[in-house]
Amino acid sequence: MPKRILPLSDAQVSKAKPAEKDYKLSDGGGLHLLVTTSGGKLWRFQYRFDGKQKLLALGQYPEISLANARKRREEARTLLANEQDPSEAKKAAKKAEALKDASSFELVAREWFGKNDPVWSPGHALTVMCRLEKDVFPAIGSKPVSEITASDIRTMLLKIEARGAVETATRIKIMCGQVFRYAVATGRLEHDPSAALKSREIFRKREIRHHAAITDPKELAPLLMAIDEYQGTFVVKSALQLTPLLFVRPGELQNMEWSDIDFEEALWSIPAERMKMRQPHLVPLSRQSLSILQGLHPATGHGRYVFTGRGSRPMSNNSINAALRYLGYDSDTVTGHGFRATARTILDEVLGFRVDLIEHQLAHAVRDPNGRAYNRTSFLDDRRQMMQAWADYLYSLKAGVKMPASGVLPLTRKKKALV
C-alpha cells in the first residue's frame, strides 16, 4: 500500500526552517509547501493535465495561510474535474484583470482627452480636465467602463445638480457620453450606458438664461465710463477696455498673443485652435484698440500673452467678469460674453450695418448666396470700416457727443441696411 500522507498542521508550516537544499512538505492532494534555502515558503499544486505533469504556484506563506492554500487547491481540482487547465485559467484571469485595469473610466477618459487636446483651445481643454478631475473621476474613475451603469452615471449627475450646478451636470453628461463612445470605438465597450439618460428627464427644469448684456445705448454709456475709471491692474483694465471694442469671446481675448497682432495692418489674426468653431478669424483693430494695445506693450510685450496673469500664463478666464462685479455690475446685468450681444444689437438696430457683416465679425457661421461658407478675409475692408465706426460710436457715447451725419450714426434708430 502507498504511504499515506498526513495533512500539515499550522505549527509545522510556521516552524519549517530552511536547509542546505530546497525541500517540500506535502499536505496531500497535490498540495505541498516548498521551503527554499533563503527561507521562503511557497505553496505549490502539482497535477497532470493532457498527459503532462504540471505545477501551479498558489502564493507565498504567510500571505497565503494553510487554509487558503487548501482552498486554492480545491478550486484548481474543480477546474481539472471540468477538463480545464488551472495554469491556463490563472493566466486568463491575470489577462482579464490587466484588461480591466486598462479599461478604467479614468484611463479611457485621459486617452480620449489626449486625442482631442491638440485641437481644443487651452481654455476649453482646462475646463474639460477640471470637470473630469473634480466631479467624474472621484465617482466612476476607478471603475472599468464595461461595468459602469446608467444608474452610476445618474447618481453622479444628481449629486452635481444638488449643489446647483445644473449646467455643469448637463455638460458632464455630454462629455461622459463622448468618452463612452470612444471606448466603444476602441473595442472596450459594447454600448454607451449614458445614452439611456435624457437630461430633460433626470434634471429639474430650469430657466434658460443668455449671457447678460446691456443693449440700450443710454445704459451702455455709464458702463463705458466706469470701465475707464477701473482701479484694478493695468492689464485687466486694458482687457476690460478692449472687450466692448472687439466683442470677441472672453477666452479668445484672454489668450491673445502678441505674435498674432499686426500693428502695421491693424489686424489681429486668431488661429483656428483658439476659436470655438475651429476656423481662423480676423479682427480688424480700430485706432482706439491699437492705442490700448500700444499702451500695454511696454508692460507685457516681452512675453507671449498680451494679458499676462501669474507667471507667464494668460490672465484668469474670470478676470473680466470679476472686474465688472468690482465696478458694481452684477451677473444679471452684464457679463464679458454679453458684449457680443451688445455689439450685435446696436450695430444692427442703431447703426444699421449689414447683418452678414456683423455675424461674420462675431465668428458665426455665415454662408454666401450659394450656401458656401465665407473665408476669414471676406468683406475685410467692410469689416474694417464697421469696427472703426463701432469704436467711434462707443467713444462718442462716453463723451456724450452726437456724431455728425457724415460720420457714425447718432443715437437714433435707423432702418436696417439690406443684406
Which residues on neighbouring strands pair with residue 16, listed in sequence order? none
Active-site option among 23, 230, 326, 374: 374
Please report which confidence band the pLDDT of residue 417 belongs to, taking 50, 70 and 90 as the band edges.
very low
Respond yes or no: is residue 276 known to be catalytic.
yes
Which is catalytic among the residues 276, 354, 384, 398? 276
Would you place residue 247 in the very low, low, confident or very high pLDDT band (cuts 50, 70, 90)?
confident
What's residue 343's pLDDT? 87
Angle at CA 255, nearest 5°, toward 118 and 286?
130
Active site residue 200: no
Please state, for a pLDDT cut of 70, what percent of the chain lies above it: 86
CATH superfamily of 10-88: Integrase, DNA-binding domain (3.30.160.390)
pTM of the model: 0.47
- Of 41, 131, 340, 383, the active-site residue reads 340
With a CB cutoff of 8 Å and minimum separation 6, the contacts of 187 are none
Assess whether pLDDT exceeds 60 at residue 339: yes
For the chain, what are the domain ranges? 10-88, 105-202, 217-399
Question: Which one of 206, 287, 364, 367 is the catalytic residue?
Answer: 364
Average pLDDT over residues 255-280: 84
Q: How confident is the model at residue 409 (pLDDT cuts 50, 70, 90)?
A: very low
**What radius of gyration, in Å, describes the C-alpha atoms of the chain?**
34
Give Cα separations from 160 to 30, 69, 145, 155 (angstroms).
Answer: 55, 46, 20, 9
Q: Topology of 105-202 in CATH?
A: DNA polymerase; domain 1 (1.10.150)
Q: Which of 72, 237, 274, 337 is catalytic?
A: 337
Q: What is the pLDDT averaged over residues 292-303?
A: 90
For residue 283, list its beta bridge partners: 268
Q: Which of 126, 128, 132, 127 is nearest to 106 (CA)?
A: 132
Return the DSSP state at 370.
Answer: T
Q: What's the length of the chain?
A: 419
Q: What is the CATH number of domain 217-399?
A: 1.10.443.10
Annotated catalytic residue 249: yes
The lowest-confidence range among 18-22, 197-201, 371-375, 388-392 is 371-375
Q: Which residue of the set 73, 249, 281, 383 is catalytic?
A: 249
Q: Is 374 assigned a catalytic role?
A: yes
Degrees to nearest 5, angle at CA 144 with 138 and 145: 95
| Cell numbers describing residue 411 | 443715437
pLDDT digits (tens, 9 = 90+) for 264-275: 999 988 887 777
